[in-house]
Amino acid sequence: MAGSNPNAKPMNLTLNVWRQPNRTTEGKIVEYKVKDISPEMSFLEMLDVLNEDLLHAGQDPVAFDHDCREGICGSCDLFINGRSHGPEKGTTTCQLHMRKFSDGDTITIEPWRANAFPVNKDLSVDRSAFDRIIQAGGYVSVNTGGVPDGNEIAIPKDIADRAFEAATCIACGACVAACKNASAMLFVSAKVSQLALLPQGKPERKTRVENMIAQMDKEGFGACSNIGSCAAECPVGISLENIAILNREYISAKATSNNLA
């Protein structure tokens, strides 16, 4: 590759990739060889090389989700060598680089596994369960009217920072994929605590947590066992403290809301 590090030796790898033609057909692991992979490539670029090889050979390329390739969008949901987004801490798959692997390595690539995330094809899963949880209450209703003054609502800096930390969740689903129980609580807790911390979120505080948890359970995600795999695998570092906030919000909402249903 032009302009690349001359000391970076190209690698040959064996890939065990989950191939599944559609939702209803059972898939299987298929072995592929890729050659001359630059250590400077991202993991997704390495998969691009594989797909080019497959296309040239007249075979069906491997389907996988990706979009921004900048670690922001949360699309690249791959379970690599038994870990969400691979072995590197605090990264999405697109930000995982091939220099983290060695020549001759065998890499196993699987889709997120959860009943709430059905496999569309190969490595691509349907994460619309997350959308439905957000639709159940993960928002702030905005009423029409005049534009409020920028500093009208005072928010202390440390509260704003904590809300922002929670807001960095990119909804990639790594938490669900890594959890023994396929629980979505870290994802739900990030949104609930973000909005519970801010004054704008207060009016809908109780209905939000009640409805989001009801939807989460309906989608078939598991319950939290406070194991911590989710937080350890989260590419943006959402902490377990958020799940405690979620539990608090849920307990107080259930105890004090007027919702009898």
Partner 1 sequence: MSWITKTLTSSIGRKIIMSVTGLFLCTFLVVHLVGNLQLFKHDGGAAFNAYSHFMGTNPIIRTIEWGLVLGFGFHIYEAFALTRRNKAARGHGYAQWKAEQNSEWTSRNMGILGTIILIFLIVHLYNFFWRARFAGDLPKMGGADLEMADYDNLYLAVVSSFQLWWYVLLYVAAQISLGYHLWHGFRSGFQTLGLNHRKYMPLIKYAGYVFAVVVSAGFASMPLYFFLFTNERGDVVSNVPAFIQSVASAF
Interface positions, 26-85, toward partner 1 (CB under 8 A): 29, 79, 81-83
Per CB under 8 A, which region of 53-61, 69-77, 164-172, 252-260 contacts partner 1? 252-260
Instruction: Kindly identify the residues of this chain, within the stretch 130-169, that bind partner 1 according to CB under 8 A.
Output: none
Helices (H), the chain: 43-56, 128-135, 157-167, 174-178, 185-197, 205-218, 229-233, 241-256
Instruction: Return the range that interacts with partner 1 (CB under 8 A); candidates 4-12, 60-68, 135-143, 239-247.
Output: 239-247
Task: Name residue 209's amino acid.
Answer: V
108 touches partner 1 (CB under 8 A): yes
Angle at the Cα of 191 from the Cα atoms of 141 and 120, rounded to 5 degrees: 105
Q: Residue 238 in contact with residue 166, Cβ under 8 Å?
A: yes
Min CB(100)–partner 1 separation in Å = 14
Stretch that binds partner 1, among 33-41, 97-105, 112-120, 200-208 (CB under 8 A): 112-120
Candidates 194, 229, 236, 238; binder of partner 1 (CB under 8 A) is 229
Size of the site for partner 1 (CB under 8 A): 51
Rounded Cα gap, residues 105 and 107, in angstroms: 6
**Interface with partner 1 includes 215 (CB under 8 A)?**
no
Question: Judged by CB under 8 A, does residue 14 bind partner 1?
Answer: no
- Asked if residue 23 binds partner 1 (CB under 8 A), the reply is no
Residue of the chain from 85, 92, 95, 110 that contacts partner 1 (CB under 8 A): 110
DSSP 35: E
Q: Least CB distance from residue 175 to partner 1, whole Å? A: 11
Strand partners, 31: 16
**96-119: b or e for each residue (b if 16 or more CB lie within 10 Å)?**
bbbeebeeeeebebbbbebebbeb
Give 61's Cβ-side CA count (13 Å radius): 13
Closest CB to partner 1 among residues 77, 233: 233
| 180 scored as a contact of partner 1 (CB under 8 A) | yes
Tell me whether residue 36 or residue 217 sits nearer to partner 1 (CB atom): 217
SS (H, E, C) 37-97: ECCCCEHHHHHHHHHHHHHHCCCCCCCCCCCCCCCCCCCCCCEECCEECCCCCCCCHHHCE
From 42-50, 94-102, 142-150, 211-219, span contacting partner 1 (CB under 8 A): 211-219
Interacting residue ranges for partner 1, rule: CB under 8 A = 16, 18, 29, 79, 81-83, 87, 108, 110, 113-116, 178, 180-183, 185, 213-214, 216-217, 220-229, 232-233, 240-241, 243-251, 254, 259-261
